[in-house]
Amino acid sequence: MSATPDNALGAFLKDRRARLDPAALGLGSRRRRVPGLRREEVAQRAHVSTTWYTWLEQGRGGAPSAAALERIARALMLSDVEREHVFMLALGRPPRATYRPVQGVAPAMQRVLDALPLSPAVIRTATWDVVAWNRAATAVFTDYGVVPPQKRNVLRLMFCEPEIRERQADWQGVARFVVAAFRTDVARAGANDAVQALVEELCARSPEFAALWEKVDVPAHSGGAKRLRHPTAGLLSFEMSTFAVDGRPDLTLVIYNPASAEDTARVRGLLSAVATN
């Protein structure tokens, strides 16, 4: 029998409770009538009363607090996607963003990038650190592999690296969009504290960044076009598209498709030159 909308939260919690292995959590391996944890075990792990948790699964007792939902999510070892689903069911809104640094991406995501041989593509975090890229991005933008990980930030490269700045056909327009979009992404991810040192560094090193940061602009649509002046390939035009990474709201996939056959040929030439060096 399917759950009614009013008790969808209870059905979801019960399902996730049944999936946990009591022995793996140190709760004993004695015979149980049903799989998973008992309600009182979840309540104990979440530091709530067994009666209250029972009511929650049964759809009684009103909406829980956000703090209680966070404890239940940890007790049930929910993924980020499952945690957000619980909040939407219980409170009609996602949980407050909590930022966690990203160290890299899954091999499957790298394979997605590598499957785009003539389209530069990168994956960036909510704080605009580049954590993955393909060969085309190396040939067209920069060799991220030789940039120290702590320096692979789009804003640091844009405002502090003259070579990157010179490649932008419309540096002023790109800079305005990047700063405004960065501010929005950071706020959405709850990462304001995490980027404080970066913002202070950029304000000290770049008067242009300091002025744009002071404006508190809202990002306008970039139009999906990007033009670069490459030192050997000349002017390159791309159609830019951004995508959320499935199950990873903290990551964004950015793909730059060559805008014409001529642009495609120039990218192919750059890759051939890299391969022969």
248-258, strands of its sheet edge to edge: 130-133, 121-125, 248-258, 234-245, 225-230
Round the average pLDDT of the chain to a whole number and report it.
89
Confidence of residue 1 (pLDDT cuts 50, 70, 90): very low
The percentage of the chain sitting over the pLDDT mark of 70, rounded to a whole number, equals 94
Contact 10, 2 (CB under 8 A): no
Task: Please give the pLDDT value at position 5.
Answer: 46
What are φ and ψ of residue 259, in 5° steps?
-80, -15
All domains of the chain, ordered by start, with CATH? 5-91 (1.10.260.40), 107-276 (3.30.450.180)
| 254-266 per-position pLDDT tens digit | 999 999 999 999 9
Mean pLDDT throughout 218-226? Answer: 69
Contact 197, 205 (CB under 8 A): no
Task: Please give the pLDDT value at position 88.
Answer: 92
CA 65 to each of CA 48, 95, 143, 178, 181: distance values in angstroms, whole numbers, following the listed order: 12, 11, 47, 36, 32
Mean pLDDT throughout 240-249? Answer: 85
Task: Please give the pLDDT value at position 221.
Answer: 57
Mean pLDDT throughout 153-158? Answer: 96
Mean pLDDT throughout 42-69? Answer: 92
Confidence of residue 268 (pLDDT cuts 50, 70, 90): very high
pTM over 0.85: no
Q: Which amino acid is at 73?
A: A
Does residue 131 have a pLDDT over 70?
Answer: yes
State the Cα torsion 84-93-37-79 to the nearest 10°: 10
Task: Please give the pLDDT value at position 49.
Answer: 94
Contact 171, 163 (CB under 8 A): no
Written as six digits, the tokens of 234 are 């000349």
